[in-house]
Amino acid sequence: MSLPAMDRLPPLNAIRAFESVARHLSITLAADELNVTPGAVSRQIRTLEEFLKLDLFVRGHRQITLTAAGEQYFRAVAKIVEDLRGATKKLMSPPRRRQLKVRAYTTFAMQWLIPRLASFHAQNPKIEVLLTASLEPVDFYKEDIDAAIRLGSGEWPNCNCYVLSDNQLAPVCSPSLLQHGPGLQTPADIAGYTMLHSIARPEDWRYWLEAAGVSREVDAQAGMSYQSSSMVYAAAVGGQGIAMAQLFLVSKELQDGSLIRPFEQVVDMGVYTYYLLTPRHREESNDLRIFREWILEQARMTGDQA
């Protein structure tokens, strides 16, 4: 069944020729652009005018201008052609990497997550992890983020919570530190060294000294303080003193020997540890599932190496 005359599309080659001529106001330039002869362009314009039963151009001596109807038609056609170009370009362009927005603490990101992200991107080249750092609470209802890594007891409302690690505290230091000074035979000997503190975690030294039974011999507040635990760990690697570390976050340094544990005593913070949070009110995307499974596997491997 054929369409009524008024519902039929105009000849598309003629439309292409019309758009080029109207844009250049020149049959010669349009012919060059379309890689055809000026005569072929003129024939396409006549075909379109006969189809529309309207004059689209006023032909003068060595010049051509649009009629009022031609102006109106050109505005509509130009938009359609531009939309078609854009749609074609988008379809033919390489697909953009999909983005996952993840929030973490600065120390967690620098000490643990960033060194491992290269392996995630190698396995999933089409998924980009946009990582930001903040101490602020997470609100998945108000914020455009897909996942967060938070420290707590696993009781975040409206969130899926996945444990990432044990949270064990113990002193760590550079091996070179022990080559100087009085030596570390017992926990009380820590008083002879500089203790390194994180402003974000002011009670960690007290917890450990009490567990080691030397809270009276060693001042839990003595030493030097830094803005974040990552700064504390860097200072410890540099031999500036003894840090109270979350062992999960210095697993690499303990493995490569840049940090050592002078004492076996640990403080286990129990359920108060690092969790991966995802929004419960949203359906989990395939990309987020892939990231969740990857980070939980990385966390399991870190725990096995401890």
Question: Of 58, 92, 126, which closes a domain?
Answer: 92
Q: Are residues 126 and 154 in the same domain?
A: yes
Q: What is the mean pLDDT of residues 26-49?
A: 93
Q: Are residues 33 and 106 in the same domain?
A: no
Q: Are residues 127 and 210 in the same domain?
A: no
Q: Tell whether the model's pLDDT for residue 240 goes beyond 90.
A: yes
- Domain total in the chain: 3
Q: Are residues 85 and 12 in the same domain?
A: yes
Q: Are residues 126 and 184 in the same domain?
A: no
Q: Are residues 52 and 200 in the same domain?
A: no
Q: Are residues 122 and 177 in the same domain?
A: no
Q: Are residues 278 and 155 in the same domain?
A: yes
- Mean pLDDT for the chain? 91
pLDDT of res. 27? 92
Q: What is the mean pLDDT of residues 41-48?
A: 94
Q: Are residues 175 and 264 in the same domain?
A: yes
pLDDT of res. 6? 60
Output DSSP code: residue 194. Answer: P
Least confident of 136-140, 212-216, 256-260: 136-140
pLDDT of res. 206? 97
Confidence of residue 1 (pLDDT cuts 50, 70, 90): very low
Confidence of residue 2 (pLDDT cuts 50, 70, 90): low
Question: Of 36, 57, 92, which closes a domain?
Answer: 92
pLDDT of res. 58? 92
In this structure, how many other beta carbons lie within 10 angstroms of the beta carbon of residue 238? 12
pLDDT digits (tens, 9 = 90+) for 102-114: 999 999 999 999 9
Interatomic CA distance for residues 57 and 96, integer angstroms? 43
Q: Are residues 46 and 130 in the same domain?
A: no
Confidence of residue 61 (pLDDT cuts 50, 70, 90): confident
Q: Tell whether the model's pLDDT for residue 32 goes beyond 90.
A: yes
Question: Of 63, 92, 121, which closes a domain?
Answer: 92
Interatomic CA distance for residues 224 and 174, integer angstroms? 16
Q: Are 226 and 196 in contact (CB under 8 A)?
A: yes
Backbone angles phi, psi at 28, to 5 degrees: -65, -45
CATH number of the domain bearing residue 84: 1.10.10.10
CATH number of the domain bearing residue 111: 3.40.190.10
pLDDT of res. 86? 81
* C-alpha torsion sign, points 283, 286, 292, 293: positive
Domain that includes residue 293, residue range: 98-166+271-305
Question: How many helices (H) and strands (E) are present in the chain, helices listed first?
Answer: 10, 12
pLDDT digits (tens, 9 = 90+) for 82-96: 888 888 887 876 656
* Both tokens assigned to 137: 């609470």
Q: Are residues 219 and 240 in the same domain?
A: yes
Q: Tell whether the model's pLDDT for residue 159 goes beyond 50.
A: yes
Q: Are residues 146 and 277 in the same domain?
A: yes
Q: Tell whether the model's pLDDT for residue 26 goes beyond 80.
A: yes
